[in-house]
Chains A and B, each alone.
Chain A
Amino acid sequence: MGMTITEKILAVKSSKKNVECGEIISARVDIALGNDITAPIAIDIFEKYGAKELFDRKKVVFVPDHFTPNKDIKSAEQCRILREFSRKHNVENYFEIGRVGIEHALLPEKGIVLPGDLIIGADSHTCTYGALGAFSTGIGSTDLAAAMITGEIWLKVPESIKFIYSGKTRRFVSGKDLILFTIGKIGVDGANYKSMEFTGEAISSLSMDGRFTMCNMAVEAGAKNGIIEPDDKTLQYVKGRSKREFITYKSDKDAKYCNVVDIDSSKLEPQVSLPPSPGNARPVSELRNIAIDQVIIGSCTNGRISDLEEAALILKGKKVNPNVRLIILPATQDVYKEAMKKGLLEIFIDAEAVVGPPTCGPCLGGHMGILAKGEKCVATTNRNFVGRMGHPESEIYLAGPAVAAASAITGRITNPEEVL
């Protein structure tokens, strides 16, 4: 029996010839990640139990990106815990303000995560790196602490679901639309404990940015990881970024899947997920006259350069509706700089958007774009749970950058075709 790409990586990392679904393994981690919310607990545990050193100072990564630039004294104290710990233990990949970006955009960009890696992160969207053909999954602070000490984690080998996206996508249908549609189809626990493997024509034609977006949201269907087999685009992306050796894996033809889901990508239009669940996906044309107060373009889901390019294409020469606040947050310093070089920032500012620093702030209701009672927001972020972005009676509509930008112009949820 052949193995899936996920099983192959898990076998290699647990020094086995093969692994089977349901088997519990102890695996070596290539990267263990924490942020300013989750790492303080892990560090507390690390120190409380008398651990003296990290298993590998090069493999532990701390990214203070959630409440930074620090929104209040308490978050400043949390960040200080990371900073002091990182200095004490000589952590190679600690990112201070000015160098920090949103973790899941930053790590691939810096070549810290690579194809074939096993990556754990105390952040649920750690599954993003599956776009590189790595096994990556979100864990909590205790698991992070244990991995910081031992360099290992126990995992149950997940069953895999294969998603085949056939056909070419229409204009303005991005990775975000494919994944929102998919979560709408299978539900927010449709892949609970499982691996989501994305394949097919539409995936091959998707940019790396679009692939990161898709794998990022695998957790919104409950998945342990999302994964895409590396191809030339992957290698092109990794080229010049990787500072160490890596191996690419592909699923065997006779690999076992617990389910295969076929999706005709050519039939899809841009999607919007209605509050309060990413699973409430609808085609944008079905939504009429939903007036909005705010638009957020950014986050680990859609804050990369091609997301900003798509927004700029729509916003160029136009103004944000007077009833709307448009907040644009490039995911990293490099994305920011590239947006500047390409003239995107000028387009945004001329359209009367505010462009902020890289931060996770508004996505989780931290800061930099909190919603008041009754307000509605179109966001390119990944969750629209009750109270996610502020007041429990505010509403978040999840969409890709094209729908978000178009909606900022009209002041209501809008199909991008309408404003071009």
Chain B
Amino acid sequence: MSALKYKGRVFKYGDNVNTDVIIPARYLNTIDPKELASHCMEDIDPGFPKKVKPGDFIIAAENFGCGSSREHAPISIKACGVAAVIAKSFARIFYRNSLNIGLPIIECPEAIESLCDGDEIEVDLNDGTITKISSGQVFKSKPFPEFVQKIIEKGGLMEYVSSRETR
């Protein structure tokens, strides 16, 4: 896979998936991404950390990531190896936190309507396309502006900023 191109399975959830179910507060006494990853989605899908493989995707409906400002939520998702979260819409703080740590998040209502749990998809962040492998169906989302693509490539805002400073 070239940079910003990912292929994997879909884990599908519904509306208002909140930060408390993404990473319950009882695990917030650590900042270790691996440990956080081992409890990711625990209160909505207890088997998730064991089932998910690097390159897989979380897809959901409206208002994904609502609730707390805890950056531990996108950190735990990213540390599971999830390539991107695709939803109809995202909560504000989660959206910002995700891009800040370099977790791609994509708004694409059409894809959500058509994709099912377990589907295999390919996502190209360069042009914002999501392809369902079994049918070849292609869904278009708005591609990220170039600087956001660079933030994701570098792994986060701070990595991006420091790589610019040390050029």
Contact = CB atoms under 8 A, between A and B. Distances in A.
**Do A and B bind?**
yes
Interface of A: 37-38, 40-41, 44-45, 48-49, 66-67, 71-72, 74-75, 78, 121-124, 126, 138-143, 145-146, 188-189, 192-193, 219, 222, 224, 277, 364-366, 383, 385-388, 392
Given A40-B31, A41-B71, A383-B20, A188 B66 contact: yes
Contact of B67 (A40, A48, A224, A383): A383
Interface string B68-85: 111110010000000000
A129 B63 CA distance: 24
A222 B100 contact: no
A385 B69 contact: no
B74 to A, nearest CB: 8
Interface in B77-97: 89, 91-93, 96-97
A364 B25 contact: yes
B8 to A, nearest CB: 25
Contacts, number: 121
Contacts of A145: 158
28 contacts: A37-B25, A37-B72, A41-B75, A44-B31, A66-B25, A122-B69, A123-B68, A124-B67, A139-B97, A142-B71, A143-B100, A146-B158, A146-B161, A188-B16, A189-B16, A189-B91, A192-B63, A222-B63, A222-B66, A222-B92, A364-B28, A364-B68, A365-B20, A383-B67, A385-B20, A386-B20, A387-B24, A388-B25
A192 B94 CA distance: 12
B152 interface: no
A386 B69 contact: no
Contacts of B115: none
A123 B28 CA distance: 13
A44 B63 CA distance: 29
A386 B67 contact: no
A138 B66 CA distance: 12
Q: Which 6 pairs show the lowest CB-CB distances between chains A and B?
A: A140-B97, A142-B100, A74-B29, A387-B43, A364-B25, A140-B71
Nearest to A384: B20
B18 interface: yes
Contacts of A277: 16
A192 B91 contact: yes
Contacts of B29: 37, 67, 71-72, 74-75, 78
Interface in B13-49: 16, 18, 20-21, 24-26, 28-31, 43-44
Given A74-B30, A188-B16, A222-B63, A386 B21 contact: yes
Contacts of B66: 188-189, 222
B16 A392 contact: no
Contacts of B67: 124, 383, 385
A387 B22 CA distance: 11
B62 interface: yes
A373 to B, nearest CB: 13
Contacts of A44: 31
A74 B71 CA distance: 18
Contacts of B26: 365-366
Interface residues of B, number: 36
Interface in B43-66: 43-44, 62-63, 66
A139 B96 contact: yes
B20 A387 contact: yes
A151 B146 CA distance: 26
Contacts of B135: none
B104 interface: no
Given A37-B72, A365-B20, 18 more contacts: A66-B25, A78-B29, A122-B71, A124-B67, A139-B69, A140-B69, A140-B93, A142-B100, A192-B89, A224-B92, A364-B20, A364-B68, A365-B25, A383-B18, A383-B20, A383-B67, A385-B18, A386-B21
A366 B26 CA distance: 5
Nearest to A388: B20
Interface in B96-148: 96-97, 100-101
A49 B165 CA distance: 11
Contacts of B161: 49, 146
Contacts of A75: 29
